[in-house]
C-alpha cells in the first residue's frame, strides 16, 4: 500500500486542473504581451483567471499579483513594504516559514528593526506582547502566518488585523497552508497582503499570488517588462495561472465537504494513535484551533526514532519529520524549537488531503505501532 500523508509539502495535481492547463501548453502558446491575436488570446486567459481568483476571495482583480509561488509572494510583501512603503520595523514570529524568516533576517542586515512576538507552547501568538511591540513610533509591518505548516496552529486574522489597524501597521499573512481550505472574504477582512501557492491546493508548482490591498502602490521586486500592472517583470506562467485559478475554484466550491472529510480523518487518527501508542502526544493545538489538514505527532523517546521516517517510507508511507534541537550540531525544526518542544521526543507531521481515506490512517497507525513496539 502507498500512502501519501505529506500534503502540507505539496499536493497531487487535480485532473480537472490538468485538463484546464493542457490547451494552453499544447496550442495557446502566444506571449500574453504580444498585441496580435495569438497574444491577445492568452492575455484574456490570464485576465479571466485573475477575475476568478479575485472573486473567490472577494477582492478586486487589480489586487491579485501572480508570482512564482508562496516564497516569492512572501518576499515581495516584506521587501516591497520596506522598499516602497516606508516600513522600518517588522514584527514576525520565530515559527514563520523561511520565506518570511530569512527575508526578515535580510532586512535586519539592512538596518530594519525586526522583533519577534512571543508565542505560547502551542504556537499561539501572545496578543498582549504584539500590542506592546506595536506601540513604537516606527512604520511597522506585521507578518504572521495564518496557520503554521508544521504544527497547524491558527491565528485569528481578524484580531491581528484589528490590532494592526489600531496602531496603523501594515499586516501580511502567509496563507499558503490555508488558502483553498477556508473561505476568505477580503471585503470583511482588512489585510494588506496575503500569499498563496497553487501546489498546496492541488494546483501546479511554480505559481502563486500575492494579494495586495488596493490602497497600496508597490514598485517591482523583479524588474523587467511591465507585466502584472508593473509590479512584477517577466513573461507570465500562463498555464500555471490558469491552473491556479481552477484549483482555487475547485477547492473553495467544495470547501465544506473537504473540511468535514479531512477533519474526520485527523480526529480519527488522533483517536487511533491514542488507542495504540502509549505516551503519544501532539505538537500544536491538535484538538483545538488548528489547521485541519495537519497533525503533528509527538512520540515517546525511543532508539527507533532515528530510523522512523526511513522505516515508514520503506512501508510506503510518505510523511515528514523533525524534532526540536537535540544537540549542538543538529538544528532540528525551527518551529518545534520555537514553541519549546521536548527535543527528546521524535515528531512526525502527517498532512492530509481530500484524496486520503480512513484505511490509509489505519495502515499508517498499524505500521507506526509495528516500528515502535517490535
Ligand atoms: N509558506 C508556507 C507556510 C509554506 O508551507 C510554503 C511551502 O512549503 C511556502 C510559504 C513556500 O511556497 P512555495 O513552495 O510556493 O514557494
For position 307, what pLDDT does the model report?
A: 87
Mean pLDDT of 156-173: 98
**Residue 209 Cα, ligand 1 centroid: separation in angstroms?**
12
Contact 181, 150 (CB under 8 A): no
- Nearest CA residue ID for atom 4, ligand 1: 176
DSSP 250-264: HHHHTHHHHHHHHHH
Give the residue among 87, 74, 169 at the shortest CA–CA distance from 131: 169
Is 164 a known active-site residue? Answer: no
Q: Where are the domains of the chain?
A: 3-11+254-373, 15-253
Burial of 264 (0-12, 13-18, 19+ CB in 10 A): middle
Residue 71 CA to ligand 1 centre (angstroms): 6
How far apart are the CA of 322 and the centre of ligand 1, in A? 17
Which atom of ligand 1 approaches the CA of 8 most closely? 5
Residue 197 Cα: closest atom of ligand 1 = 15
Q: Which residues line ligand 1 (CB under 6 A)?
A: 69-71, 74, 97, 99, 145, 149, 174, 176-177, 197, 208
Q: Ligand 1 pocket test: which of 7, 99, 152, 243 has the largest number of ligand atoms within 8 Å of its C-beta?
A: 99
Cα–Cα distance measured from residue 170 to residue 156, given in angstroms and rounded to the nearest whole number:
16
Å from CA of 352 to ligand 1 middle: 16
Mean pLDDT of 297-305: 89
C-alpha span between 320 and 19 (Å, rounded): 30
What does pTM read for this prediction? 0.97
DSSP 306: G
Class in CATH terms, 3-11+254-373 = alpha beta
Of 216, 220, 174, the closest CA to residue 194 belongs to: 174
Pocket test for ligand 1, best of 11, 71, 338 (most atoms within 8 A of CB): 71
206 is written with which cell numbers?
Answer: 511554480
Domain 15-253 has CATH 3.40.640.10: yes
- List pLDDT tens digits, range 11-41: 999 999 999 999 999 999 999 999 999 999 9
DSSP string, 29-67: ---TT--SHHHHHHHHHHHHHHHHHHHHTT--GGGEEEE
- Which cell numbers hold the place of 149? 505548516
Task: Inform me whether the pLDDT recorded for 161 exceeds 60.
Answer: yes
* Ligand 1 atom at shortest distance from the alpha carbon of 72: 16
Q: Is the pLDDT of residue 373 over 90?
A: no
Among 99, 29, 27, residue whose Cα is nearest residue 68: 99
**Whether the predicted pLDDT of 326 surpasses 70:** no
pLDDT tens digits for 33-90?
Answer: 999 999 999 999 999 999 999 999 999 999 999 999 999 999 999 999 999 999 999 9
* Proportion of the chain above pLDDT 90, given as a percent: 93
User: Which residue CA neighbors atom 14 of ligand 1 most closely?
Assistant: 70
SS percent in the chain: helix, strand, coil, step 5: 45, 15, 40
Ligand 1 centroid vs 73 CA: distance in angstroms?
9
**Helices marked H in 237-324:** 238-253, 255-276, 308-314
Among protein residues, the one whose CA lies closest to atom 13 of ligand 1: 70
* Residue 147 CA to ligand 1 centre (angstroms): 12
Q: Give me the pLDDT at residue 21, please.
A: 98
- Site to probe by mutation for ligand 1, drawn from 7, 9, 147, 149 as the one with most ligand atoms within 8 Å of Cβ, is 149
pLDDT of residue 311: 94
Indicate the burial class of 80 (C-beta count within 10 angstroms; 0-12, 13-18, 19 or more).
Answer: buried
Tell me the helices (H) and strands (E) count for the chain, helix number first.
12, 13
| Nearest residue to 176 via CA among 291, 343, 16 | 291
Amino acid at each position: 500500500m502507498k500512502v501519501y500523508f505529506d500534503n502540507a509539502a505539496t499536493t497531487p495535481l487535480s485532473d480537472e486542473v490538468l485538463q484546464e492547463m493542457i490547451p494552453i501548453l499544447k496550442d495557446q502558446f502566444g506571449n500574453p504581451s504580444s498585441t496580435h491575436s495569438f497574444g491577445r488570446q492568452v492575455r484574456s486567459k490570464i485576465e479571466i483567471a485573475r477575475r476568478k481568483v479575485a472573486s473567490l476571495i472577494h477582492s478586486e482583480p487589480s489586487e491579485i499579483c501572480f508570482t512564482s509561488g508562496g516564497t516569492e509572494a512572501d518576499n515581495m510583501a516584506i521587501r516591497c513594504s520596506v522598499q516602497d512603503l516606508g516600513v522600518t520595523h517588522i514584527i514576525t514570529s520565530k515559527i514563520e516559514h523561511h520565506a518570511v524568516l530569512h527575508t526578515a533576517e535580510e532586512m535586519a542586515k539592512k538596518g530594519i528593526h525586526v522583533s519577534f512576538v512571543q508565542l505560547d507552547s502551542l504556537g499561539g501568538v501572545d496578543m498582549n506582547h504584539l500590542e506592546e511591540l506595536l506601540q513604537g513610533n516606527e512604520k511597522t509591518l506585521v507578518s504572521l502566518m495564518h496557520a503554521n505548516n508544521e504544527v497547524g496552529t491558527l491565528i485569528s486574522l481578524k484580531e491581528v488585523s484589528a490590532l494592526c489597524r489600531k496602531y496603523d501597521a501594515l499586516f501580511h499573512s502567509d496563507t499558503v497552508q490555508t488558502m483553498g481550505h477556508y473561505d476568505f472574504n477580503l471585503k470583511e477582512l482588512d489585510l494588506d497582503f496575503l500569499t498563496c501557492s497553487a501546489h498546496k491546493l492541488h494546483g501546479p508548482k511554480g505559481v502563486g499570488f500575492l494579494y495586495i490591498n488596493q490602497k497600496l502602490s508597490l514598485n517591482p521586486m523583479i524588474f523587467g517588462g511591465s507585466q502584472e500592472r508593473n509590479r512584477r517583470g517577466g513573461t507570465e506562467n500562463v498555464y500555471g495561472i490558469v491552473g491556479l485559478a481552477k484549483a482555487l475554484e475547485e477547492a473553495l466550491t467544495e470547501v465544506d465537504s473537504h473540511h468535514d472529510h479531512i477533519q474526520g480523518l485527523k480526529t480519527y487518527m488522533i483517536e487511533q494513535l491514542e488507542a495504540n501508542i502509549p505516551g503519544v502526544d501532539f505538537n500544536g493545538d491538535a484538538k483545538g484551533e488548528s489547521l485541519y489538514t495537519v497533525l503533528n505527532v509527538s512520540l515517546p523517546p525511543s532508539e527507533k526514532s532515528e530510523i522512523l521516517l526511513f522505516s515508514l517510507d520503506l512501508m510506503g508511507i510518505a510523511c515528514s519529520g523533525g524534532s526540536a534541537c537535540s544537540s549542538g550540531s543538529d538544528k532540528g525544526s525551527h518551529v518545534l524549537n520555537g514553541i519549546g518542544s521536548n527535543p527528546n521526543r521524535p515528531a512526525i507531521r502527517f498532512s492530509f488531503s481530500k484524496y486520503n481515506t480512513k484505511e490509509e490512517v489505519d495502515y499508517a497507525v498499524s505500521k507506526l505501532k509495528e516500528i515502535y513496539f517490535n
